[in-house]
């Protein structure tokens, strides 16, 4: 997500939270700004640790509450990639930032990827099933190049 998209996502998230009756706060704004800057998935602990490194006082409970609300409002996508905790990334209404993930079973690193051929196959499968595919996630698991060697 580029800088403009990041600011747009954070601003849209703030506005949606206000519309739904959630009060603005500096800690919540810090969480939103950090999520908006993410290129891929991040855990609640990663968010808390990054904010702490930036000397921002945001407790882990605030991070979890914010993620829970954002997920309910469909502003973040929750991905259970295995391991100890779920990871999250900004959800865009147009699906523009849509990608899938390869997860290393050794180091746990998530590597995003896009594949137009895969998207076409999913569309064809939906038609074959006579179903409307509204959303999908593809998670590949294996060993990344760094851990392979």
Which has more pLDDT, 40 or 3? 40
Q: Which domains does the chain have, with CATH numbers?
A: 1-96 (1.10.10.10), 98-149 (3.30.1490.190)
Rounded to an integer, what distance in angstroms lies between the CA atom of residue 86 and that of residue 44? 8
Residue position matching structure tokens 């959800």: 91
Query: Nearest to residue 7, comparing CAs of 43, 45, 35?
Result: 35
Q: What is the mean pLDDT of residues 134-147?
A: 89
Range of lowest pLDDT (39-43, 116-120, 125-129, 145-149): 39-43
The pTM score is 0.75
Q: Are 48 and 58 in contact (CB under 8 A)?
A: yes
């Amino acid at each position: 997500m580029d800088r403009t998209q990041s600011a747009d996502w954070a601003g849209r998230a703030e506005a949606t939270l206000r519309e739904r009756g959630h009060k603005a706060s500096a800690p919540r704004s810090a969480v939103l700004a950090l999520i908006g800057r993410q290129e891929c998935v991040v855990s609640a602990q990663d968010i808390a640790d990054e904010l702490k490194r930036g000397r921002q006082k945001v407790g882990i409970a605030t991070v979890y509450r914010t993620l829970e609300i954002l997920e309910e409002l469909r502003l973040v996508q929750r991905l259970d990639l295995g391991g100890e905790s779920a990871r999250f990334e900004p959800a865009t209404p147009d699906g523009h930032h849509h990608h899938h993930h390869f997860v290393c079973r050794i180091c746990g690193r998530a590597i995003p990827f896009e594949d137009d051929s895969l998207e076409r196959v999913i569309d064809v499968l939906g038609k074959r099933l006579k179903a409307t595919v509204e959303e999908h996630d593809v998670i590949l698991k294996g060993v990344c190049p760094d851990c392979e060697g």
